[in-house]
Amino acid sequence: MSFGLHLGWAIEGAIGSYFKIDVSYLSPNVNFTQHLQEHAHLYNVPLLMSGQLYDNFSEETQQYCRKIDYILMKG
């Protein structure tokens, strides 16, 4: 099991019909989070976060994190 964490905007909306409604989140940030989760699996780590999220942590919290790699995403 792996998780990807990122910080950014998203729009939540209900998609479906009268009989079935699903909640969906639309944003390029949501897609970026999915890519982070896939890379977490490749690096064999349980959690992978973006630099944007890391930069919002306090210095004390940043001490508990380690840099694994620099990844350039397409798009």
Q: What is the pLDDT of residues 50-60, one digit of tens each?
A: 999 999 999 99
Residue 53 maps to a domain: yes
> How many domains would you assign to the chain?
1
Query: In which residue are the tokens 């508990």 written?
Result: 64
Domain span holding position 47: 3-62
Residue 69 maps to a domain: no
- 26-58, pLDDT tens digit by residue? 888 888 999 999 999 889 999 999 999 999 999
Residue 70 maps to a domain: no
Residue 50 maps to a domain: yes
Residue 58 maps to a domain: yes
Residue 12 maps to a domain: yes
**Over the chain, what is the mean pLDDT?**
90
Residue 57 maps to a domain: yes
Name the percent of the chain lying above pLDDT 90. Answer: 53
Give the DSSP letter string of 22-55: EEEEE-HHHHHHHHHHHHHHHTT-SEEE-HHHHH
